[in-house]
């Protein structure tokens, strides 16, 4: 009998990570680009994914980034983030794209700057 | 006994001799005739004389006759006396003979015959009685006695023979049951063929016992072979099912990454079903002497162990895990521990009300890791508790002790015995039953660094792109994050091909696969060939494809290369 190759993956199945849940209660809270910031440090006894999210989000991080770091599907990360949000350990903030666009300088001004730079 | 002596012969009465009487009579008659003649007248004297003479003659004749008769009578009497005496003598001799026969000869004969001499010899040497009838009696007696003695001897010989045979048979039976059969059964269990066992067996002398033993050994051999074949066949078939289930799980994980939220819940449900299927097949495979479906080559932290265990049971939502432990179980034992905990959790969930929760606590103690699984179901009866304790003790791992479909605890017993895990039952403070599992320290991974070297080196081959990022991620968080992110277009083939391991990796990884002396190191779970492929590529390139004919230059080159191989970091 040939020896089977060993498993290099993880024994965790995703439904055990989410506790059996497969979707978030409120799908509007976390967008793909919602910025997440941790509000407290991880405490012992927490789920390891929560610990990693809190560590990652000491600086604001988007949901997709967290998902990429955790190597988990977005749906699972949303469920985890929802748990943390409900416990008050993180805050979520939508990037205000419209406001950011309004704050940008005028394109004419930019053209002038560009022109001035070329003339240097 | 003595016979009475013959009667004394009667003595003849004393009598006067007959001739005296006759002479007296004759004298009296002569006197009377003389008297008559004297007294007679003369005239008549002559007549008287005549008459007297005549009378005298008559008397004389009478007397003579009487005397003759008396003589004859006396002769007859003496003859009778003689005969009587002879008869007496014969009787006395006969009595003596009889007495001799009875008192001397017969006991002698009995003694001789008992001593084993032949009847004819005994007869020849014995003093024969004169009486033919007694002799006949003696002969008949002797013959019969000899016959009887012969029969007795034959019977005794037969009896001795029978007793001997019986004793031998009993001894054979005892040896058979005490040593021969157990030894034969033990040898058969070890997989020897019936003929081998029979050849090595100390066969009893009794033919029927030998036949019996041979038949038994052959039948037992057939049964053992049948059992072993059934076990091997089922283990093999289960191995295929296990491999299929594992690849299904990998595919499902892949799909969970690739597909969106719309099918995610369905995928999770499928995943759960497949995991339960894995538990069932692993249970059977372990019972059949096979392997678990998965084998981990890196330490698995306790949280993942618990999650991996709980994910395999149907009611995993009812199980609450309380673990703050950061210890990891060594890779070789991780799957066994997971399966053991899954079986115990499955039991706890199945035998408690469907609304109650099952709590799992993990404590770190100096004796190892204590995992407590408590349910709040019905308290187990004493008999059930005893059976459960007996089953999980792992003392009897024979399939013959299995009861019906309750296989889980038997598997727990097998795994506990294999890894030295102690499993104890006790009443739970929550009202149900508590199971205390003590994982001994030798099952725990040594925590020298974040991740042992083997786990990291083997992690790399899975990621062909961006391996540096993977390595940092693994370094930051050991086990749970070890699952690499598969690229959408590069579906990771399960099982991952170890042959792909070496080529794309740098010399660092390759150098780690060899000792400083240049010998290849086989990482756990890889074949030697795969490990050898993982060694520095330049060596393989420098090796001549076909060995040239032996010449001094080639020998020197080989020596030079062997020196170069000692360099742990050969030029790439």
Range list of H helices, B126-191: 132-175, 181-189
| Tens of pLDDT, residues B142-198 | 888 888 888 988 999 999 999 998 998 888 888 888 888 888 888 888 888 888 888
CB pairs A-B closer than 8 Å:
122
User: Which residue of chain A is at minimal alpha-carbon distance from B311?
Assistant: A16
As a whole number of Å, the end-to-end CA separation of chain B is 130
Positive or negative: CA dihedral B372, B377, B381, B386: negative
A25 CA: distance to closest CA in chain B (Å): 13
**What residue has token string 């016979």?**
B3
B256, B317, B323: residue with CB nearest A20: B317
Positive or negative: CA dihedral A94, A99, A105, A111: positive
Q: Which carries the bigger pLDDT value, residue B264 or residue B114?
A: B264
Q: Which of residues 332-361 of B touch A (CB under 8 A)?
A: 334, 338
DSSP tag of B460: G
- Judge whether B420 and B442 are in contact, CB under 8 Å: yes
φ, ψ for residue A11, nearest 5 deg: -75, -10
Domain ranges of chain A: 14-119
User: Which residue of chain A is at minimal alpha-carbon distance from B497?
Assistant: A5
Q: Which of residues 70-99 of A touch B (CB under 8 A)?
A: 70-71, 73-75
User: What is the band of A51 on the pLDDT scale with cuts at 50, 70, 90?
Assistant: very high
Least confident of B380-394, B396-410, B550-564: B550-564
| Rounded-to-integer distance, Cα A67 and Cα A80, Å | 10
| Rounded-to-integer distance, Cα A61 and Cα A38, Å | 9
| Rounded-to-integer distance, Cα B176 and Cα B209, Å | 9
Which tokens go with B471? 């390595």
Find the farthest-apart pair of alpha carbons in chain A and give their distance in angstroms, rounded.
Answer: 77
| Tens of pLDDT, residues B17-32 | 666 777 787 788 788 8
Q: Which carries the bigger pLDDT value, residue B123 or residue B236?
A: B236
Q: According to the model, what pLDDT value does residue B484 have? A: 39
User: Which residue of chain A is at minimal alpha-carbon distance from B310?
Assistant: A16
Residue B548 CB partners (closer than 8 Å, separation 6+) = B554
CATH number of A14-119: 1.10.10
Which tokens go with B390? 């007996």
Which tokens go with B273? 């079903």
B296 CA: distance to closest CA in chain A (Å): 5
Q: Which carries the bigger pLDDT value, residue B353 or residue B161?
A: B161
- Judge whether A46 and A55 are in contact, CB under 8 Å: no
Q: Where is A93: in which H helix or E strand?
A: strand A90-93
Closest to B412 measured CA to CA, from B404, B421, B403: B421
| Average pLDDT over all residues of chain B | 77
Whether residue B14 has pLDDT greater than 60: no
Which tokens go with A67? 């998902």
Peptide bond into B246 cis (omega under 30): no
B249, B269, B525: residue with CB nearest A6: B525
B564 CA: distance to closest CA in chain A (Å): 32
**What residue has token string 């990037």?**
A95
Residue B518 CB partners (closer than 8 Å, separation 6+) = B562, B565, B566
| Tens of pLDDT, residues B545-572 | 454 455 677 777 777 777 666 555 444 4
Burial of A37 (0-12, 13-18, 19+ CB in 10 A): middle
User: What is the band of B83 on the pLDDT scale with cuts at 50, 70, 90?
Assistant: very high
A1, A5, A16: residue with CB nearest B310: A16
Q: Which carries the bigger pLDDT value, residue B130 or residue B528?
A: B130
Q: What region does B2 belong to: left with phi over 0, alpha with psi -120 to 50, or beta?
A: beta
- What is the percentage of chain B residues whose pLDDT exceeds 90? 25
User: What is the band of B113 on the pLDDT scale with cuts at 50, 70, 90?
Assistant: confident
Closest to B188 measured CA to CA, from B226, B235, B234, B233: B226
B291, B316, B458: residue with CB nearest A16: B316
Burial of B25 (0-12, 13-18, 19+ CB in 10 A): middle
**Yes or no, beta carbons of A8 and B311 under 8 Å apart:** no
Residue B217 CB partners (closer than 8 Å, separation 6+) = B184, B188, B194, B197, B198, B201
Probe site for chain B from A16, A22, A46 (most B CB atoms < 10 A): A16
Probe site for chain B from A1, A2, A3, A15 (most B CB atoms < 10 A): A15
Q: Which of residues 439-468 of B touch A (CB under 8 A)?
A: 458-459, 462
Q: What region does A12 belong to: left with phi over 0, alpha with psi -120 to 50, or beta?
A: beta
Q: According to the model, what pLDDT value does residue B342 have? A: 95
In the predicted model, what is the mean pLDDT of residues A47-76? 90
B398 CA: distance to closest CA in chain A (Å): 23
Which tokens go with B387? 């059976």
**What residue has token string 């016992």?**
B209
Q: According to the model, what pLDDT value does residue B481 have? A: 36
A95 CA: distance to closest CA in chain B (Å): 23
**Yes or no, beta carbons of B477 and A14 under 8 Å apart:** no
**Yes or no, beta carbons of B297 and A6 under 8 Å apart:** yes
Work out whether strand B319-322 and strand B358-365 pair parallel, antiparallel, or are unpaired: parallel
User: What is the band of A12 on the pLDDT scale with cuts at 50, 70, 90?
Assistant: confident
User: By the CB < 8 Å criterion, does A25 face chain B?
Assistant: no
User: By the CB < 8 Å criterion, does A31 face chain B?
Assistant: no
What are the CA-CA distances from residue A46 to residues B187, B312, B520 (Å)? 55, 22, 42
Residue B457 CB partners (closer than 8 Å, separation 6+) = B509, B512, B513, B523
| Cα atoms in the 13 Å half-sphere on the side-chain side of B392 | 22
B441 CA: distance to closest CA in chain A (Å): 21
| Rounded-to-integer distance, Cα B414 and Cα B408, Å | 10
| Rounded-to-integer distance, Cα A35 and Cα A92, Å | 6
| Rounded-to-integer distance, Cα B58 and Cα B69, Å | 16
**Yes or no, beta carbons of A13 and B322 under 8 Å apart:** no
């Amino acid at each position: 009998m040939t020896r089977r190759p060993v498993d290099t993956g993880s024994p965790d199945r995703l439904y055990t990570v989410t506790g059996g849940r497969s979707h978030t209660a409120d799908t509007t809270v976390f967008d793909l680009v919602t910025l997440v910031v941790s509000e407290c440090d991880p405490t012992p006894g927490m789920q390891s994914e929560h610990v990693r999210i809190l560590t990652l989000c000491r600086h604001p991080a988007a949901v997709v980034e967290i998902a990429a770091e955790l190597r988990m599907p977005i749906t699972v990360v949303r469920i985890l983030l929802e748990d943390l949000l409900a416990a008050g350990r993180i805050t979520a903030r939508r990037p205000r794209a419209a406001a950011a666009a309004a704050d940008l300088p005028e394109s004419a001004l930019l053209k002038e700057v560009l022109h001035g730079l070329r003339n240097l | 006994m003595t016979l009475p002596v013959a009667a004394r012969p009667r003595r003849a009465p004393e009598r006067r001799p007959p001739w005296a009487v006759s002479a007296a009579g004759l004298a009296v008659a002569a006197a009377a005739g003389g008297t008559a003649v004297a007294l007679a007248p003369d005239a008549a004297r002559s007549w008287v004389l005549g008459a007297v003479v005549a009378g005298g003659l008559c008397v004389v004749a009478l007397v003579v006759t009487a005397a003759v008769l008396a003589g004859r009578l006396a002769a007859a009497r003496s003859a009778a006396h003689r005969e009587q005496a002879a008869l007496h003598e014969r009787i006395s001799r006969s009595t003596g003979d009889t007495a001799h026969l009875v008192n001397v000869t017969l006991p002698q004969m009995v003694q001789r015959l008992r001593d084993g001499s032949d009847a004819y010899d005994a007869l020849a040497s014995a003093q024969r009685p004169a009486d033919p009838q007694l002799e006949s009696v003696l002969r008949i007696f002797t013959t019969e006695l000899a016959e009887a003695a012969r029969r007795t001897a034959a019977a005794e010989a037969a009896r001795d023979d029978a007793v001997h045979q019986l004793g031998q048979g009993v001894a054979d039976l005892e040896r058979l049951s005490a040593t021969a059969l157990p030894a034969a059964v033990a040898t058969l269990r070890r997989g020897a063929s019936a003929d081998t066992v029979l050849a090595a067996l100390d066969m009893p002398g009794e033919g029927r016992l030998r036949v019996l033993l041979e038949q038994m050994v052959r039948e037992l051999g057939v049964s053992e072979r049948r059992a072993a074949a059934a076990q091997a066949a089922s283990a093999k078939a289960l191995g295929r099912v296990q491999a299929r289930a594992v690849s299904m799980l990998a595919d499902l994980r892949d799909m969970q990454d690739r597909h969106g939220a719309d099918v995610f819940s369905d995928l999770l449900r499928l995943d759960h079903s497949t995991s339960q299927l894995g538990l069932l097949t692993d249970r059977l495979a372990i019972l059949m002497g096979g392997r678990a479906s998965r084998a981990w080559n890196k330490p698995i932290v306790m949280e993942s162990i618990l999650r991996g265990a709980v994910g395999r049971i149907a009611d995993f939502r009812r199980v609450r895990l309380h673990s703050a432990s950061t210890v990891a179980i060594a890779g070789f034992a991780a799957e066994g521990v997971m399966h053991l905990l899954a079986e115990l959790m499955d039991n706890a969930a199945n035998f408690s009300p469907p609304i109650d929760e099952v709590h799992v606590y993990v404590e770190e103690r100096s004796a190892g890791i204590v995992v407590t699984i408590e349910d709040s179901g019905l308290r187990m009866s004493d008999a059930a508790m005893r059976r459960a304790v007996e089953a999980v003790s792992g003392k009897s791992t024979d399939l013959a002790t299995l009861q019906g479909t309750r296989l889980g605890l038997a598997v727990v017993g097998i795994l506990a015995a294999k890894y030295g895990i102690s499993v104890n039952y006790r009443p739970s403070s929550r009202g149900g039953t508590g199971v205390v599992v003590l994982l001994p320290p030798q099952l725990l991974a040594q925590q020298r660094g974040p991740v042992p070297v083997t786990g990291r080196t083997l992690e790399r081959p899975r990621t062909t792109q961006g391996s540096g990022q993977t390595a940092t991620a693994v370094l930051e968080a050991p086990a749970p994050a070890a699952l690499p992110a598969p690229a959408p277009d590069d579906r990771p083939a399960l099982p991952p091909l170890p042959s792909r391991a070496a080529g794309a990796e740098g010399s660092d990884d390759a150098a780690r696969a060899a000792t400083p002396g240049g010998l290849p190191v086989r990482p756990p779970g890889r074949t030697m060939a795969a490990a050898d492929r993982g060694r520095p590529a330049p060596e393989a390139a420098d090796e001549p494809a076909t060995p040239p004919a032996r010449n001094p230059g080639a020998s020197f080159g080989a020596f030079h290369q062997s020196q170069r191989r000692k360099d742990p970091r050969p030029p790439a």
